[in-house]
Every structure is written in C-alpha cells, then in structure tokens.
Amino acid sequence: MTAAEAAAKGRAQPARERKRIAVSKPVKGAAGKTGAWRTFKPVIDPEQCNQCGLCQLYCPEAAIDENLEVDYEFCKGCGICANECPKKAIRMEKEER
Ligand code: SF4
Ligand code: SF4
C-alpha cells in the first residue's frame, strides 16, 4: 500500500516508509533457535494494524522486523506482542507441527 492509499484509508503510512529506532536482531543462542519452543504463533491482521510498532519494541526475541513481519525461526510464541498491541491486531494461533 502506498502512502497516498494509506492516507485515503485513514491508516498510518506503510512501515518501510517510516523510520524506527534500531532494535537488536535475533540470534541463535545456546539452546538453539527460540522458534522451536513455540506452541502458539502470532499472526498480524494488516487490516486492524495501525503500524505503531509497539509489538516490535516489546518482543523479547526481536522477532518482529521493521516491516512488521514475524521471524518464526525465533518467535517463541510468548504472546507479549498480542497482549501489548493497542489495536488487538495480533491473534495467537495454535501451531500445526
Ligand atoms: S502493536 Fe499492533 S497495531 Fe501496533 S504495529 Fe504491532 S500489530 Fe500493528
Ligand atoms: S509471540 Fe513473543 S516472541 Fe513471538 S513475536 Fe510475539 S512477542 Fe515476539
């Protein structure tokens, strides 16, 4: 979605057009990649999301990037992002393994 389309819909500009503060990147730790721990996975609803970026800031694994895409290699399914989302735009889905 372009900035003009976003403005027409009353939504914030797309994330890649906005500057965010730097956050750390996820890395493999002594216990492996934290994505292996997950039983529920977060799914962001782009229609509800206003791209505020809070989920990215609160994620303890830095598993949400600046484009608000979840890295499931490192997302451990804790649900903090869903709890902190002011728009309730993240639902936790049972993981199919
Ligand atoms: S916290 Fe919610 S509304 Fe904000 S960017 Fe994340 S998913 Fe979107
Ligand atoms: S469920 Fe937890 S680890 Fe996964 S993206 Fe959300 S806050 Fe990060």
Q: Express each pLDDT in 46-74 by its tens digit.
A: 999 999 999 999 999 999 998 899 999 99
pTM (2 decimals)? Answer: 0.80
Nearest CA to ligand 2 atom 8: 59
CATH architecture of structural domain 3-94: 2-Layer Sandwich (3.30)
Q: Which ligand is nearest to the CA of 26?
A: 2
Cα distances (Å, whole numbers) of residue 54 to 21, 28, 60, 94: 11, 23, 12, 23
How many Å apart are CA 56 and CA 90, to the nearest integer? 12
Nearest CA to ligand 2 atom 7: 59
Q: Please, which pLDDT band fits residue 27 given cuts at 50, 70 and 90?
A: confident
Instruction: Report the relative pairing of strands 90-94 and 40-44 from DSSP bridges.
Output: antiparallel
